[in-house]
A = this chain, B = another copy of it.
Amino acid sequence: MKPEGEPIHQESKEVGVSGGISILELILRIIAIIGTLGSAVAMGTTDQTLPFSTQALIFQAQYDDIPTFRFFVIANAVVCGYLAISLPMAIYHIIRTGAAKTRALLILLDTAMLAVLTAGASSAAAIVYLAHKGNASANWLAICQQYNNFCKRITGSLIGSFGAVFVFVLLVPLSGLVLCRLR
C-alpha cells in the first residue's frame, strides 16, 4: 500500500532503487564477462606434454582431446560475446529505469544463456571429476596423476564459468524485481 501523500517523492525514490539495481546489473555483467572470458582462455590454451615423451611417441594432453571441453570453450565464448552485446542495453536501463519491454527481452536472453553456460560448465565439471577420481566400475582410470598441470588448469578454468552461472542466477531475478517494482 502506497502512502497517499507525496506521490512525486515516492516515485523518485522508486526510480532511485531501480536505478541502483540497474547499476548493480551492469557491474554483474562485467564480472560475468571476465569470468567467462577467463574460463574460455584458460581452457582453450591448456596443453601439457609429458617430459618422457620422445620424438616417436608423444604423451600430450590437450583440451580438445575431450569433446566436452571443446563444448565448454564454445559455450563460454558464446556467453561472453552475448554479455558484451548486452552491455549497451544494461546502460540504457540505467538511463531509462522505466523501460519494461527491453527488460523482458533481457530475461528471455539471460535465461537461455544461463542454460547454455550451466550445461557447458557442468558437463566439463563431470569430466574433470572423472579425471581426478576415475571410476572403478566403468574401469576409467584417473588421469590426473600423469597429467598434473593439465588437471590443475582445467579445474581452475571451471571457477570463472561457475562464477558467471551464479551471476546469471542473480541477474534474471533482479530484472524480474525491477519489472515488479515498475508496476
A173 interface hit (Cβ, 8 Å): yes
* B179 pairs with A137, CB closer than 8 A: no
A66 to B134, CA, bound (A): 10
Interface residues of A in 128-183 (CB under 8 A from B): 129-131, 133, 135, 137-141, 143, 165, 168-169, 172-173, 175-177, 179-180, 182-183
User: Are B173 and A176 closer than 8 Å at their CB atoms?
Assistant: no
Which residues of A77-112 have CB atoms within 8 Å of chain B's CB atoms? 100-101, 103-104, 107-108, 111-112
Q: At the interface, yes or no: A30 with Cβ under 8 Å from chain B?
A: no
Interface size of A by Cβ–Cβ distance < 8 Å? 49
Number of copies: 2
Interface of A is mostly: helix
Q: Is A126 located at the chain interface by the 8 A CB criterion? A: yes
A100 x B183 contact (CB < 8 A)? yes
Partner of A122, one of B103, B108, B122: B122
Q: 17 other contacts beyond A104-B179, A118-B118, with CB at 8 A cut-off?
A: A65-B138, A66-B135, A66-B137, A67-B129, A104-B173, A104-B176, A104-B177, A107-B172, A111-B169, A111-B173, A118-B122, A119-B122, A122-B123, A123-B123, A123-B125, A139-B141, A140-B141
